[in-house]
A and B are shown apart, each in its own frame.
Chain A
Amino acid sequence: GAGVSQSPRYKVAKRGQDVALRCDPISGHVSLFWYQQALGQGPEFLTYFQNEAQLDKSGLPSDRFFAERPEGSVSTLKIQRTQQEDSAVYLCASSLALDYTGELFFGEGSRLTVL
């Protein structure tokens, strides 16, 4: 497809389980972002990739969160030993522009529920 694709759309995990969320950005988009959106809140920045390089991971809430984009296209966000506070929608976005002017194109998100 032409848009940003995320999978799975829904994930239920038991507390303590590891989860992996996948993002397939728009072809040719160099910039890739991960955001976390808690219920009733705006998205909050987690991490940023320019091609395969992770240039900013200042938003990752703990060392249980890990993201990679090894070949500069598909990205995976991994959460280890999930906790209930990790329950949120995880949004992936990609952008063509390398500066502040470009629109971010978002995927539909992966909704994680930790029991």
Chain B
Amino acid sequence: AQKITQTQPGMFVQEKEAVTLDCTYDTSDQSYGLFWYKQPSSGEMIFLIYQGSYDEQNATEGRYSLNFQKARKSANLVISASQLGDSAMYFCAMREGNSGAGSYQLTFGKGTKLSVIP
């Protein structure tokens, strides 16, 4: 089973509107972290937001918020007031706490391409 599932290959949103990008995850660990990264066409991976598995409050960073529903194993990214510069690939990722090799590697989903329409 995939550890990170992003079911939306592409999304469109009108400028200034809000958009939700879906992410579900699969882990048997109690301790884990969930991340969202943005990848513009230039290629760099830009960190957006982090949610720890024990965090009771949903994470927020400026226009980004993470809708964390632990029982459903979902960690959707909400972008409010979309801007043209938000057009990019968005990746959901997870680091599991019980890493046998101790690497705590990030496992990524396949990504969602967001296009903001003027």
Interface residues, chain A, with chain B CB atoms under 8 Å away: 31, 33, 35, 41-45, 48, 50, 55-56, 58-59, 89, 91, 93, 95, 97-109, 111
B42 at the interface (CB under 8 A from A): yes
A48–B101 Cα gap in the complex (Å)?
9
Whether the Cβ atoms of A108 and B101 lie closer than 8 Å is no
Whether the Cβ atoms of B108 and A44 lie closer than 8 Å is yes
A107–B44 Cα gap in the complex (Å)?
6
Whether the Cβ atoms of B45 and A91 lie closer than 8 Å is yes
A91–B4 Cα gap in the complex (Å)?
19
- Distance to closest chain A CB from B114 (angstroms): 15
Which of B31, B35, B44, B105 lies in contact with A108, CB distance below 8 A? Answer: B44
A29–B45 Cα gap in the complex (Å)?
17
Whether the Cβ atoms of B45 and A43 lie closer than 8 Å is yes
Q: Which residue of A lies closest to B32 (CB)?
A: A100
Whether the Cβ atoms of A45 and B106 lie closer than 8 Å is yes
A9–B81 Cα gap in the complex (Å)?
33
Q: A42-B91, A48-B103, A56-B102 are in contact. Are A99 and B43 (CB under 8 A)?
A: no
Which of B50, B104, B111 lies in contact with A99, CB distance below 8 A? Answer: B104
Q: Which residue of B lies closest to A33 (CB)?
A: B105
19 contacts between A and B (CB under 8 A): A35-B106, A41-B111, A42-B4, A42-B108, A42-B110, A43-B45, A43-B106, A45-B105, A48-B105, A91-B45, A93-B45, A95-B104, A100-B32, A101-B33, A102-B104, A104-B47, A104-B106, A106-B44, A109-B43
A45–B107 Cα gap in the complex (Å)?
7
